[in-house]
Amino acid sequence: MPRPKTILWVDDEVDGLAAHRRFLEEQGFAVEHAAHGDDALALLRRQPFSVVLLDEQMPGRRGLELLAEIRSIDPAMPVVMVTQSEADSTLRDAIGVEVDDYLVKPVHPRQILSVVTRLIEGDRIRQQRLARDFVTRFRELEARRGSTLAWREWIELVVELVRWEVRLSEGNEPGLSEALTSLQGGLRKDFVGFIRHSYPRWLSHPEGDRPPLSVDVGAEFLVPILQSSNRALFVVVDCLRLDQWEMLRDLITPLFDVEESYYYSILPTATPFSRNAIFSGMFPMEIAARHPNWWGQPSDEESLNAHEQQLLTEQLEELLGRPIPVRYEKLFSAADGGDLLRRLPAHLAQDGVTALVFNFIDLLTHGRSESAILYEVARDAAALRALTRTWFERSALFAALQEAERRGVPVLLTTDHGSIHCQTPATIFAKRDATANLRYKFGEDLRAEDADAAIAVDDLKLWGLPQLGLGVRLLLATGDRFFVYPTKLREYQARYRGSFLHGGVTPEEMILPVALLTPRRASRGER
């Protein structure tokens, strides 16, 4: 939601605005200035404003050209065009594209005060419009509950709901957000039935109609880049949800043309399985068969992800029929980021793939359960989104993307799995040899007290997983549940309720973004 009384003034004549700016600030306005159109667009993508004052006559892109891009960022943004003359043809053009008001130079500070005060009331109108649009769409979405959806329809639905979630949160609409949350909860139940039926079929009939899965990311998205370019930056952000990607995209679009696609994570939606599948192009069962020495116990996450560079190198050579140089770095800390940025220019100057894995969001997600401070800072999905954006703006990841853009290197950015905000404990019974994970468990004689709380998998190979021993089955948590033992119910509830976890079956964990980023200057033929 825009801060009250906040103005963005776009004008290349900085010195002439000083007195006007002081007057407006004395009246309680916060005034930001941008001398160029690109700077203005960057500010609009970074923070909300109440109104834009837009000078028509500027070097480079004129105000009318800029107006269209402002509308694409926020269609309801009030814009006041500042022109040289009422007789100017550009004024008629501006009115024709529904500029909200206009001022003719020289402008008096009180003229500006009168115009922007009136327009700021538009915030209230925008909120009303948002609420009206959502209520209309909510009825349509609610009517789809219980209907049979194909995998493409699930992607379209989940992406739309995520965008509504972000808009309602930013619009400060708690009542409507609660209605949306309720709808999402109901759809998660439908999604479980969809995955229970569809997932084994996808694996048993890979040539049939199925979505891109983790194993397809390399072939479907990375290989085409390498076929058209000798260099690529491949970025995997561990545990990035769709709503978090929504917060990053607007920061990326000034640098890159962004082509968004989506894929489904394999199960379990956990790093040892999903990320290995991305780098290898194989299901865990196939990795274990080809590289038995690389595949240990599913609880040993560190060792299971120790060979990602080798797996990616092997996959790309098989897909392209020739060796592809792969440079690989995994980043956990700010110090790792600093080291990477010193080496990155040399990496990007070479042919082949520079593969980067960023673990910050996954560490943050897990750390909430261990740190009271982190828990408070990232208390809910909206707070987690905001924290993700703040991190990204100052991160080595953003700096790496900027370096790739400067060098004209295309980027493939994705994630290995999402997470779900867990609120509901689900009691399970197991032998002591069961794995410790909270959203999925391997073990003998596993069962959930409530059958709806988990998908039970007895034939692991049918789900692309190595057979781990006689009688070993897999439980995958559904909805917002996390597994607890009867003897540790209170301990686990106190520690993990409200945590963001992964490994189970929800749209938030399984439906994931993958984005092709083409440097804008490269697309314009610049170097």
Please report which residue ranges of 58-173 form alpha helices under DSSP H.
63-73, 89-96, 109-120, 122-142, 151-170
CA 194 to chain CA mean position, Å: 23
d(CA 178, CA 180): 5
- Along the chain (527 residues), what's the average pLDDT of each consecutive run of 10 residues? 73 81 88 87 87 81 78 83 66 56 85 85 71 85 83 95 90 84 92 96 92 98 95 97 94 94 97 96 95 70 79 97 96 89 96 96 74 73 90 95 96 97 92 83 92 95 89 94 87 84 97 96 55
- Got the DSSP string for 450-473? SGGGEEEES-GGGGT----STTEE
- Burial letters 489-505, b for 16+ CB under 10 A, else e: eeebeeebeebbbbbbb
Report the alpha-carbon angle 67-95-13, nearest 5.
50
First to last CA, the chain: 38
**Phi, psi values for residue 305, rounded to 5°:** -110, 25
Q: How far apart are CA 117 and CA 24, in angstroms?
A: 11
Per DSSP, the three-state class of 353 is: strand
The single-letter code of the amino acid at 323 is P
Do 359 and 330 form a contact (C-beta atoms < 8 A)?
yes
Look up tokens 């009517």; give the residue. Answer: 143
H/E element, 477: strand 472-477
Any idea what DSSP says for residue 462? G
DSSP SS3 for 483: strand
Which residue's structure tokens are 């994970």? 437
The rounded distance, in Å, linking the Cα atoms of 32 and 10 is 9
Cβ distance 354 to 344 under 8 Å? yes
One-character DSSP codes across 417-452: ---EE--EEEEEE--TTS---SSEEEEET-EESSGG
Backbone angles phi, psi at 255, to 5 degrees: -100, -35
SS3 content of the chain, % helix, strand, coil (to 5): 50, 20, 30
- Measured at the CA of 114, the angle between CA 116 and CA 95, to 5 degrees, comes to 60
Nearest to 324 by CA among 401, 232, 405: 232
CA distance 109 to 334: 46
Sheet holding 101-104, edge to edge: 30-34, 6-10, 51-55, 79-83, 101-104
Determine contact, residues 422/255, Cβ cutoff 8 Å.
no
DSSP state of 505: B
Tell me the one-letter amino acid at 522. Answer: A
CA 265/CA 416 separation, integer angstroms: 7
Q: Which amino acid is at 459?
A: D
Distances (CA, A) of 128 to 49, 124, 520: 18, 6, 36
494 phi and psi, to 5 degrees?
Answer: -65, -35
pLDDT of residue 2: 46
Looking at residue 58, its amino acid is M
Tokens representing 267? 């199960």
Query: CA 331 from chain center: how many Å?
Result: 19
Tokens (6 digits) for 134 = 């959502």
Rounded to whole angstroms, the Cα distance separating 335 from 333 reads: 5
Query: Which residues, 6 or more positions from 160, have their beta carbon under 8 angstroms from its beta carbon?
Result: 141
Query: What per-residue confidence (pLDDT) applies to 1?
Result: 44
Output the pTM of the full model. Answer: 0.78
The answer to whether 520 and 256 are in contact (CB under 8 A) is: yes
421 beta partners: 500
Query: How many C-beta atoms lie closer than 10 Å to residue 462's C-beta?
Result: 14
pLDDT at 301: 52
Closest CA to 508 of 154, 260, 173: 154
